[in-house]
Amino acid sequence: MDNVRPLQWAPSLQAYSGQWDDASARHLLRRTHFGVKLAELKTVKELGLTATLDILLNDQLAQPLPPIKEYNPTNATVPDLLIAGGQTWVNDPTTDGTINSLRRSSFKKWWVGQMLNQQISLREKMTLFLHNHFATESVDIGNAQFLYKHHSLLRKNALGNFKNLVKEITTDPAMLVYLNGQNNNKTAPDENFAREIQELFVIGKGKGAGFNEADVKAAARVLTGWRNNAAEIKSFFDPNRHDVNDKQFSEFYKSKKIVGKTGADAGSNELDELIGMLFETDEVALYLCRRIYVWFIHYQITPEIEEAIIVPLAQVFRQNNYEIKPVLRLLLGSQHFFDLMNRGCQIKSPVDMLIGMLREMEVKFPADTQYTNQYGLWNQLVNYLTNMQQNIGDPPDVSGWKAYYQEPGYYKFWINTDTLPKRIQYLDTLVAIGYTFGGFKMVVDGTSWIKLFPNPSDPNSLVEALCVHLLGVDISASHKAQLKTDILLAGQAQDYYWTDAWELFIGTPSNMANTKHVSTAVTNLIKYLVDLPEYQLC
């Protein structure tokens, strides 16, 4: 089962020259967003591939408004009473543990909201990519203001320059907490960040990664002296805690020596040299391109793919001084990306699954003015995601979610005998019952939704359209026929049985018996489709 590709298949980064049809457009949107709305598909289809890529990669999109105070602080020792409900808390430095905990939770709800409200843009998917790549855990960071600042850094750089981002991440307050950089000082260097920047963030563990333990120790000494100022929500450099001795690196880094420096700029200057040294290696671009490949295409990187895709992509990354956009444009516009063999082969992450489902079925949420209900429902989604093992803001550890690095299963890690039933249960709940908060129900309105499809009164066309829209892998014609008969025709043989019922529903919705019948049939059909293993793929 190692390699199921046919032999004649040759990976290539050449620009996609195939047809720009619904299927290609849907494939691109599925991989670059969480779920696909019909309207988005229509827009993109009309734009064509090149113009679509322009929009996906537009980094000038306005940044969203920050998370707000939607919580009740009365149990806190020092409640943040100066901030009114509905106003943002992100600039208010508090050290109260309860408030920080409420705000961390507020942040996660808000993030779910951003994903639900995503526009046609790569930003949300890339923000999550960077969160998985520079994985941090909000519970360990503790300070909610640091947490939001860190997240904003990822969000702003989602389509930016990777080298700059690494530099900023290194002295980012949240990261200084999470990987102990703030405790790293000349008398007893703490190696945590120095190790992970090489092993996980920049160099990786590929065959060509040759850094050693001495490099970890030397990098730790370069990074001594950085501390946090919670009151100002920023980090600073303390020269008194900095190791001013020279730092010698191994042959992997061309025996680079970073001469020890003194003074207020020593930390920043040595950091520049360190980053420069890391990015001099070929490994950085190779590693990042493999990570991007696993994120957007599939985890099987065969020697042919390494050669034909990863190596040239890495070359482009280096030539563009580590700008992310040219790499994404090349990969997502390539023959290889659109190859039929690469479609439908991702097991959806919980975010893909849940946010995608709510988006593609146009589930409605309360307006911003009703922020308590809005955040309340978003919170339930955070809980669902957590139970399905994708607790955004709190991946399992600094290496991120196993689905993106753990041999041999990769995406398969999302699915096991515990999480698969949960996925189905949550999907069924949202399709059939809904979840209510503050009198507002989050539920799929099946009949309203299928009105958006071209020809819902024709049961063949409806089943076909829903399968195409929802399933990662198509089901057989006989399977569809049976679905139609069992669910839409209630066991009858003639298509007009459904057509009549649907038209009666459209013309006379007040006919409660028929309306109930139609909406039950639609709910059952959608429920059946999302319960299929094929719906787990995108």
**Bond prior to 11 in cis (omega within 30° of 0):** no
Q: In this chain, which stretch among 111-119, 278-286, 308-316, 474-482 interacts with another protein, using CB under 8 A?
A: 474-482
How far apart, in whole angstroms, are the C-alpha atoms of residue 210 and residue 110? 41
Shortest separation between residue 532's beta carbon and another protein, angstroms: 6
Q: Return the H-helix or E-strand segment holding 258.
A: strand 257-258
Residue 265 or 474 with smaller CB distance to another protein: 474
Residue 1 or 62 with smaller CB distance to another protein: 1
Spatial neighbors of 318 by CB under 8 A, at least 6 apart, are 282, 285
How far apart, in whole angstroms, are the C-alpha atoms of residue 326 and residue 392? 27
Q: What is the number of other CB atoms lying within 10 angstroms of the CB of residue 67?
A: 25
Task: Characterize the bridge pairing of strands 257-258 and 435-437.
Answer: unpaired
How far apart, in whole angstroms, are the C-alpha atoms of residue 192 and residue 186? 14
Site string for another protein, 363-392 (x = CB under 8 A): ------------------------xxx---
Q: Is 245 in the site for another protein (CB under 8 A)?
A: no
Shortest separation between residue 256's beta carbon and another protein, angstroms: 20
For residue 400, give both structure tokens: 């991120």
Shortest separation between residue 140's beta carbon and another protein, angstroms: 10
Please pick, from the candidates 101, 300, 370, 524, the single residue that binds another protein as defined by CB under 8 A: 300
**Dihedral, 355, 357, 431, 393 alpha carbons, nearest 10:** -20
Residue 288 or 388 with smaller CB distance to another protein: 388
Q: Is 95 in the site for another protein (CB under 8 A)?
A: no
Shortest separation between residue 120's beta carbon and another protein, angstroms: 25
Distances (CA, A) of 220 to 192, 279, 282, 320, 368: 8, 17, 22, 29, 45
Please pick, from the candidates 257, 364, 412, 516, the single residue that binds another protein as defined by CB under 8 A: 412
Site string for another protein, 28-57 (x = CB under 8 A): ------------------------------
Q: Is 411 in the site for another protein (CB under 8 A)?
A: yes
Shortest separation between residue 356's beta carbon and another protein, angstroms: 16
Largest CA distance in the chain: 85
For residue 114, give both structure tokens: 């951003």
For residue 452, give both structure tokens: 């958006």
Shortest separation between residue 172's beta carbon and another protein, angstroms: 18
Contacts with another protein by CB under 8 A lie at 1, 4-6, 180, 183, 185, 187-192, 195, 199, 205, 213, 216-217, 298, 300, 340-347, 387-389, 396-399, 402, 405-409, 411-413, 415-422, 424-425, 472-476, 479, 482, 528, 531-534, 536-537
